[in-house]
Amino acid sequence: MSADPEHWDEIYRQRTDSELSWSRADQGRSLKLLSRLAPPPASVLDVGGGRSGLAAALAAAGWSDITVLDLSSVALETADFPTSVARIVADVTAWEPERSVHAWHDRAVLHFMASDDERQAYARVAAAAVAPGGVAIIGTFGPDGPDRCSGLEVRRSSADEVAGLLGGGFAFEEAHEEFHHTPWGVSQQFTWAVLRRH
């Protein structure tokens, strides 16, 4: 199951960042999209951010309202980002937001939602978390991306499929294709979808 905290805790215990397929030296498209679509003082929720460098990069670039949500407590305990960044240990499909944010950012979480039920729960939480006028920025394995990651089967998506999942609560704004190169040089197709909350 994708929502097994022990699975992810063990991955973060056993592997360095250079051994995690999603690691990257820079924050690439994530930082570019957030800079353009939700610049400071916007509030940002990084879904499944684990111990990626995005939160630290956002803090260094002027954002002050940053929250990282992850299933793995180990990931958040070992993350190297400022203490001002809020950390929430939770399964995103079951989480109940206590407040809304201007930007929902997800790079490499949605594709672990393999079942329709998981994906619909994800969409419900996104709709509850994003403030009217805010954005959802979602990067997931594209149609030609991998079919497995971290020992789990994944579900690939086109930008249209991501837009359809989030449904009528969001308006589709733009899509991008990206090829992420893992630390060991394997190319992975990502689809990025940007949606605006009604």
| pTM, to two decimals | 0.96
Task: Give the whole-angstrom CA distance, residue 33 versus residue 82.
Answer: 22
The residue among 125, 135, 59, 49 whose CA lies nearest residue 88 is 49
139 pLDDT above the threshold of 60:
yes
Angle ∠(196,109,80) on CA atoms, nearest 5 = 100
Task: Give the whole-angstrom CA distance, residue 180 versus residue 104.
Answer: 20
Question: In CATH, what number is assigned to the domain containing residue 140?
Answer: 3.40.50.150
* Domain count for the chain: 1
How much is the pLDDT for 2? 66
Task: Give the whole-angstrom CA distance, residue 165 versus residue 152.
Answer: 21
- 176-186 pLDDT, tens digit per residue, is 999 999 999 99
How many percent of the chain have pLDDT more than 70?
99
Q: Which domain holds residue 150?
A: 5-19+27-197
Sorting pLDDT into bands at 50, 70 and 90, what band is 1?
A: very low
